[in-house]
């Protein structure tokens, strides 16, 4: 699978000059910084840096962009853990256990866990790409609407696991989110639930809504308190505890590997990057012996979400390099950078510039080590957020979120959405509804509707159409198995316990 | 608490109103979508999910009503009570956030942010005059400058070019 001639040429490209490496640290730092501000995204940062691309040679430009991408993939975890602010959909899963850990004074460990899981996820996916970039890209072409529908359903099963103490409230919150996700123009081109407002024709701006539901609502709860971490002794930022968190991530090798492999697979699908963290979180929770601990500050939740999030980035790169198809905003901007150097991504790129493809993969592997060091230093500084008084932090974060949401939506729909969902989120928390179930519904609503509709149109309404899609069938089987496995396991444990009692 | 046919029933009215509001929006949204187009392309997800949501609402609404014995005391609130003064602080913070969102496009986000920061700091208990005088203008200048320089969508501003 590996073209050793091209690999040797790639090594020569990377080692013959120090210039391509000059951009790695600035790239990673920009990526990390971008997500410190709610509302700024990776694609925005890449787009802002596009004017620099013509001044770099192609390899340097590619390394610069992948470094930014690598930094931002981990960067989203920092506000998600410290402030419950998921800067993008890719960090939603990280908030579930990250913020409870931070509130319990384990912010050092939580950030360390996220960094280690992120580095591990990136390492795994780029090692996979080194041998399988071509086949992975070709596999992406086999995935159509039915397979995407199964993935969406897989994501929706998370609502069931996030239902909280009251099943009916949890499921109602999820259904509410799903419907909110379908507000706006339909496939027929008719507006639904827009109150006649043009601002809502594109739907409810998702990231401002998530920031409102999660972050703003949580910040309201913190209003009467002095600091995020109430215990003074726990408020310290300690390198040793960050390192302990990094080590702790490797105490869950199964969760790490499952997340990394799931993320690599899901990342190759358009839009998959956003849901990889949720699917991995959901799988880890289902596979756990004590799933009730998830959502209360369980390290496995962070590890699962972050390893999948990081590896899905490499999956996106596979589709970009092998097929020339962007799977998200960031890879779309990268494609623009390709064109600035008169290069088109896709099979011809893989064939004619195999050395360049290997150089990108090898440099990305090296970037993992740089990210571990730069990310460690960055979170050491970012961790000081817990030392800022909440009366200073709350208005600062809320103002940034309002301005950021304007920038994201390009109009006032962003700030209005944020404010409305902040109030709804707080009320939902007050009445014990799991806000995360609404967020999952909101994230997947439009996507599920689109996939369902396309599958329906392809099948002509015949259910047996699914039997002509072996990959979709296999995915459905895996989904069913992963859902039934915990019940079978607990049933077997119960019957074993009963036998023991009978024997005595 | 209400009395139905001589039976005492405790009602969690705030929760009931919220759940009914959600169910009302779901019903309206489904009707609006149906009204816009009754084709399957338009309703393939909305109708089944709305139906499920309405069924779930009945379960949730039923949980808001709790029958209590004739001699029994009223059950305690299902929610933990807010500490004294915290409810006012939360309501005030929500009102100030809404004021920022409404005022931003009208007077410009620079001015709105300045007053929001000042008001929130004071409202949340900041009494140090240098902090109150320095933080809001500094924050506004740095943040607004960065956003306006970096982003293609100019923010509506009072000072400088309006978006």
3-state secondary structure of B144: helix
Q: Measuring CA to CA, which residue among A69, A66, A90, A94 is closest to residue A80?
A: A94
3-state secondary structure of B125: coil
The verdict on residue A501 lying in a domain is no
The verdict on residue A503 lying in a domain is no
Greatest C-alpha distance within chain A: 79
Q: Which residues of A touch B86 (CB under 8 A)?
A: 223-224
For chain B, give the mean pLDDT. Answer: 88
Q: Which residues of B touch A223 (CB under 8 A)?
A: 86, 89-90, 93, 124
Query: Is the pLDDT score of B77 beyond 70?
Result: no
pLDDT at A107: 92
A39, A167 Cβ separation under 8 angstroms: no
User: How do A184-185 and A191-192 pair as beta strands?
Assistant: antiparallel
Q: What is the pLDDT of residues B119-162, one digit of tens each?
A: 999 999 999 999 999 999 999 998 888 887 777 677 888 886 54
Are A168 and B78 an interchain contact pair (Cβ–Cβ within 8 Å)?
no
Q: Measuring CA to CA, which residue among A254, A295, A293 is closest to residue A278?
A: A295
Query: Is the pLDDT score of B1 beyond 80?
Result: no
What torsion do the CA atoms of B27, B28, B31, B35 make, to the nearest 10 degrees? Answer: -170
The verdict on residue A314 lying in a domain is yes
Paired tokens of A423: 């109030």
Region A282-291: mean pLDDT is 87
Q: How far away is chain B from the Cα of A196, in angstroms, using its nearest Cα?
A: 11
- pLDDT-based confidence at A1, cuts 50/70/90? low
pLDDT at A211: 87
pLDDT at A486: 66
Q: Which residues of A touch B15 (CB under 8 A)?
A: 431
Are B79 and A394 an interchain contact pair (Cβ–Cβ within 8 Å)?
no
Handedness of CA B84, B90, B91, B92 (dihedral sign): positive
**Phi–psi pair at B131, nearest 5 degrees:** -65, -45
- pLDDT-based confidence at A444, cuts 50/70/90? confident
A388, A247 Cβ separation under 8 angstroms: no
Distance CA A423, CA A421 (A): 5
pLDDT at A322: 75
Max mean pLDDT range (A126-140, B31-45, B71-85): B31-45
Higher pLDDT, A482 or A121: A121
Are B22 and A176 an interchain contact pair (Cβ–Cβ within 8 Å)?
yes
The verdict on residue A266 lying in a domain is yes
Region A416-423: mean pLDDT is 95
The verdict on residue A340 lying in a domain is yes
Query: Is the pLDDT score of A26 beyond 70?
Result: yes
Q: Give how many domains chain A has, as a whole number.
A: 1
Distance CA A4, CA B54 (A): 61
Q: Which residues of B touch A400 (CB under 8 A)?
A: 143
- pLDDT-based confidence at B163, cuts 50/70/90? very low
Query: What does the DSSP 8-state code read for residue A464?
Result: G
**Phi–psi pair at A290, nearest 5 degrees:** -125, 65
pLDDT at B161: 58
Q: What is the pLDDT of residues A297-355, one digit of tens each?
A: 999 999 999 999 999 888 888 778 777 777 777 777 787 788 788 877 777 777 788 88
| Structural domain boundaries, residue A382 | 4-495
A292, A162 Cβ separation under 8 angstroms: no
Are A220 and B90 an interchain contact pair (Cβ–Cβ within 8 Å)?
yes
Are B153 and A394 an interchain contact pair (Cβ–Cβ within 8 Å)?
no
- pLDDT-based confidence at A158, cuts 50/70/90? confident
Count of other CB atoms within 10 angstroms of residue A55: 8
Q: What is the pLDDT of residues B96-119, one digit of tens each?
A: 999 999 999 999 999 999 999 999
Query: Is the pLDDT score of A411 beyond 80?
Result: yes
Cα dist from A178 to A416, A439, A443, B67, whole Å:
20, 9, 8, 33
Max mean pLDDT range (A55-59, A110-114, A260-264, B77-81): A110-114
pLDDT at A481: 80
Count of other CB atoms within 10 angstroms of residue B38: 10
3-state secondary structure of A146: helix
Query: Is the pLDDT score of A295 beyond 50?
Result: yes
pLDDT at A39: 63
Q: What is the pLDDT of residues A89-132, one digit of tens each?
A: 888 899 999 999 999 999 999 999 999 999 999 999 999 888 88
Query: Is the pLDDT score of A484 beyond 90?
Result: no
Are A223 and B22 an interchain contact pair (Cβ–Cβ within 8 Å)?
no
ipTM strictly over 0.85?
yes
The verdict on residue A50 lying in a domain is yes
The verdict on residue A502 lying in a domain is no
Q: Which residues of B touch A412 (CB under 8 A)?
A: 101, 104-105
Query: Is the pLDDT score of A221 beyond 60?
Result: yes
- pLDDT-based confidence at A137, cuts 50/70/90? low
Strand partners, B8: B3, B68
Q: What is the pLDDT of residues B42-61, one digit of tens each?
A: 999 999 999 999 999 999 99
Higher pLDDT, A263 or A51: A263
Q: How far away is chain B from the Cα of A467, in angstroms, using its nearest Cα?
A: 21
Which region among A7-16, A172-181, A194-203, A343-352 has the lowest average model confidence (pLDDT)? A343-352
């Amino acid at each position: 699978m590996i073209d050793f001639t091209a690999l040797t040429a790639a090594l020569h490209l990377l080692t013959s000059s120090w210039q391509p490496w000059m951009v790695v640290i600035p790239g990673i730092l920009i990526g990390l910084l971008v997500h410190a501000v709610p509302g700024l995204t990776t694609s925005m940062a890449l787009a802002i840096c596009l004017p620099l691309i013509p001044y770099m040679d192609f390899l340097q430009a590619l390394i610069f962009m992948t470094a930014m991408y690598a930094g931002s993939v981990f960067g989203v975890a920092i506000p998600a853990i410290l402030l419950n602010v998921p800067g993008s959909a890719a960090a939603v899963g990280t908030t579930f256990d990250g913020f409870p850990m931070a509130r319990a004074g384990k912010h050092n460990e939580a950030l360390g866990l996220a960094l280690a899981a992120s580095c591990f996820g990136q390492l795994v996916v780029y090692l996979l790409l080194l041998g399988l970039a071509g086949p992975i890209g070709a596999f992406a072409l086999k995935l159509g609407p039915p397979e995407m529908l199964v993935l969406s359903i897989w994501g929706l099963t998370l609502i069931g696991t996030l239902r909280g103490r009251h099943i009916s409230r949890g499921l109602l919150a999820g259904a509410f989110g799903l419907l909110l996700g379908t507000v706006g123009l339909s496939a027929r081109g008719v507006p639904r639930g827009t109150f006649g407002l043009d601002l809502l024709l594109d739907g409810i701006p998702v990231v401002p809504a998530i920031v409102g539901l999660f972050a703003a609502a949580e910040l309201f709860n913190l209003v009467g308190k002095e600091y995020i971490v109430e215990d003074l002794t726990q408020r310290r930022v300690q390198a040793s505890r960050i390192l302990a968190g990094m080590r702790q991530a490797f105490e869950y090798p199964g969760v790490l590997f499952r997340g990394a492999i799931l993320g690599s697979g899901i990342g190759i699908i358009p839009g998959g990057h956003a849901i990889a963290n949720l699917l991995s979180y959901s799988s880890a929770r289902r596979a756990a012996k004590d799933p009730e601990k998830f959502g209360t500050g369980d390290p496995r939740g962070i590890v699962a979400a972050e390893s999948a999030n990081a590896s899905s980035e490499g999956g996106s790169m596979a589709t970009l390099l092998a097929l020339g198809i962007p799977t998200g905003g960031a890879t779309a901007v990268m494609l623009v950078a390709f064109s600035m150097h008169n290069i088109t991504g896709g099979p011809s790129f893989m064939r004619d510039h195999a050395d360049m493809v290997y150089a990108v993969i090898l440099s990305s592997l090296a970037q993992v080590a740089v990210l571990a060091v730069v990310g460690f230093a960055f979170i050491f500084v970012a961790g000081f957020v817990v030392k800022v008084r909440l009366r200073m932090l709350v208005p600062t974060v809320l103002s940034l979120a309002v301005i950021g949401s304007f920038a994201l939506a390009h109009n006032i729909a962003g700030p209005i959405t944020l404010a409305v969902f902040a109030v709804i989120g707080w009320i939902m928390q007050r009445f014990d509804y799991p806000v995360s179930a609404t967020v999952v519904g909101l994230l997947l609503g439009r996507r599920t509707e689109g996939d369902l509709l396309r599958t329906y149109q392809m099948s002509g309404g015949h259910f047996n159409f699914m039997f002509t899609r072996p990959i979709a069938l296999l995915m459905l089987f895996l989904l069913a198995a992963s859902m039934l496995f915990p019940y079978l396991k607990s049933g077997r444990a119960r019957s074993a316990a009963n036998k023991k009692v009978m024997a005595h | 608490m209400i009395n139905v046919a001589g039976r005492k029933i405790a009602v969690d009215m705030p929760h009931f109103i919220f759940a009914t509001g959600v169910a009302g929006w779901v019903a309206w949204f489904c009707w609006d979508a149906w009204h816009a187009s009754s084709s399957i392309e338009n309703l393939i997800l909305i109708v089944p999910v709305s139906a499920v949501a309405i069924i779930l609402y009945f379960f949730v609404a039923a949980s808001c009503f709790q029958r209590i014995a004739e001699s029994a005391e009223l059950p305690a609130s299902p929610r933990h009570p807010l500490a004294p003064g915290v409810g006012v602080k939360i309501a005030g913070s929500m009102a100030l956030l809404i004021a920022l969102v409404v005022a931003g496009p009208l007077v410009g986000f620079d001015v709105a942010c300045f007053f929001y920061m000042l008001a929130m700091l004071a409202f949340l208990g900041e009494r140090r005059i240098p902090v109150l005088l320095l933080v809001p203008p500094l924050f506004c200048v740095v943040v607004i400058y960065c956003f306006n320089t970096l982003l293609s969508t100019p923010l509506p501003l009072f000072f400088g070019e309006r978006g």
